[in-house]
Amino acid sequence: MKQNVIKIVGIFAYIVFILFSFITGFDLGKQIGKNFVTFSIDMLKILPCAFILIGLFEIWVKKETVEKHFGEGSGIRGYMWAVLLASTTVGGLYVAFPVAYSLYNKGAKLSIIFTYIGASAICRVPMTIFEASFMGIKFSAIRLLVSLPLVIISSILLGDYLEKRNYKIMEGK
């Protein structure tokens, strides 16, 4: 109950600050309000479609398929599948985390999920094309060739560390 009150007070204080900024002409507060509206509109464009696709993934993709390609016995192919799936993820980490949770619930290995999340942050196809157009193909290729192995290695280390300690992702409330 106390946390709900704190959240409500925080939201109320934010709204009052934005309104006060527009009334008094405080430019920093006005910019914060405009950024919030822009961000909210962008999320409303992406998230509904993404969550529909995640829901379809939950229904259409069998647990056995995920376990085969992303589970304990998948080996190096699981990491390659994770990178491939991550490169096609639209919406960045806002979409990657729910997909990762869905993969986990269907039996994906923890280290492969970490690889998916890391790769979602660094190797999405649209982002890489945009980067290559500004920085050059050589830069983009070097960045991917350096960062992807580091993501995979760190995911394996973190996944092994957490599995040795019987780590489990908590169920949502």
Q: Report the pLDDT averaged over residues 135-153.
A: 94
Report field, pTM of the whole predicted structure over 0.85:
no
Residue 173 above 80 pLDDT?
no
68-93 residue pLDDT tens: 999 888 889 999 999 999 998 877 78
Map residue 78 onto helix, strand or coil: helix
Q: Which amino acid is at 86?
A: A
For residue 167, what pLDDT is reported? 85
Residue 144 above 80 pLDDT?
yes
Residue 115 above 70 pLDDT?
yes
Residue 161 above 90 pLDDT?
yes
Quote the DSSP letter at residue 170: P
Q: Report the pLDDT averaged over residues 22-34.
A: 92
Report residue 117 as tokens.
Answer: 């999340």
- Give yes or no for a contact between 85 and 61, defined as CB atoms under 8 angstroms apart: no
